[in-house]
Amino acid sequence: MNFDFTDDQQAIKRTAKDLLAERFKADRVRELAENRKYDDQVWSELSELGWPGIFIDEAYGGQGLGAVELIILMEELGYALASLPYLSNAAAGLVLSQAGSDEQKERWLPGIASGEAPGSFGYVTDGEAKLVPDGDSAQVLVLLGADGAAVVDAADAVVEPVETMDATRRYARARVAGGDPLPGDAAAGAQLAALTVAAELTGVAQRAMEMAVAYARERKQFDRPIGAYQAVSHRCAQMLLEVEGARSASYYAAWAADAEPETLPLASSMAKAYASDAGWRVCSSALQVHGGIGFTWEHDLHFFLKRAKVDALLYGSAREHRDAVAALSGRGAAVSAA
């Protein structure tokens, strides 16, 4: 059995890595973050390439590819720390694709696929979606609460910007009365949305690890690179283990979404739980490897650390997804019985 990417998937990955590396150099990421802005020109460029609709059915203006292709893009976007509304738009499109009626899909998916009318997705508790990425710029909101999911024209919602520690992405809270209920399986779309965050966290962690390893090779103590010391080399090895674990879990869940959807709920929660913890731990370890310089505002590492921290909570924390894994695998019932 071949576990590698197809030739087309390899091409998507190469194109994404090269393009994003060119568009989001470290200085540009810092400039956008410090000004709390997105790069609208790059968003237009990605929209022309069809990336916002890579997973959306061709009938609605998308490319009709699968979850694996989407996860490839999400990992590279995380690696570049791209300041774009891609994740939020993808999450809205995923839930609508899974749960929307034909009429709802026809109305909203073409704008999401083209990037011209982006959407966002969030969870509602006590009548409010408290953390909606890019909710202040989305034209359509897809909200999931205890009573089900609904799609709402953003003009009919009360949306207020929310500041988090992550300056590379915008967030908002939204209050909505009513909305157009989604008749299908919104939970499947939400699981895919969580998976996109897991893939982004994998990319963030990969980049932080590479920064730490490069520094460990260059920085010397007592005329030796600090990476030669076990305390540092073992920390770097642990980072690699966690990055590869997050990557394997994410791609397995993406495969499940395309080939074995009945296993997606378990696979997606496993990926999000692991990546939420791994993203934070790897970035924290990278900070320790850098020593004092890593704690300064002038070093770029803190942008990755803060993205990892907020991503860890977005669309379900590690604890919430571990609880889901326990329930889905039957362990939750066993613990309750005990």
- What's the whole-model pTM score? 0.95
Percent of the chain with pLDDT over 70: 97
Burial track 40-71 (b if 16+ CB lie within 10 A, e otherwise)? eebbeebbeebbbbbbbeeebbbbebbbbbbb
pLDDT for the residue 127: 86
d(CA 9, CA 76): 13
Q: Walk me through the domains of the chain, giving residue ranges and CATH numbers.
A: 187-337 (1.20.140.10)
d(CA 114, CA 81): 22
d(CA 160, CA 18): 35
The two three-digit tokens of residue 200, written as one number? 């982004």
In the chain, the N- to C-terminal Cα span, in Å, equals 41
User: For 87-122, how does the pLDDT look when each residue is reduced to its tens digit (9 = 90+)?
Assistant: 999 999 999 999 999 999 999 999 999 999 999 999
User: For 276-305, how does the pLDDT look when each residue is reduced to its tens digit (9 = 90+)?
Assistant: 999 999 999 999 999 989 889 899 999 999
Is 186 within 8 Å of 148 (Cβ atoms)? yes
User: For 243-263, how does the pLDDT look when each residue is reduced to its tens digit (9 = 90+)?
Assistant: 999 999 999 999 999 999 999
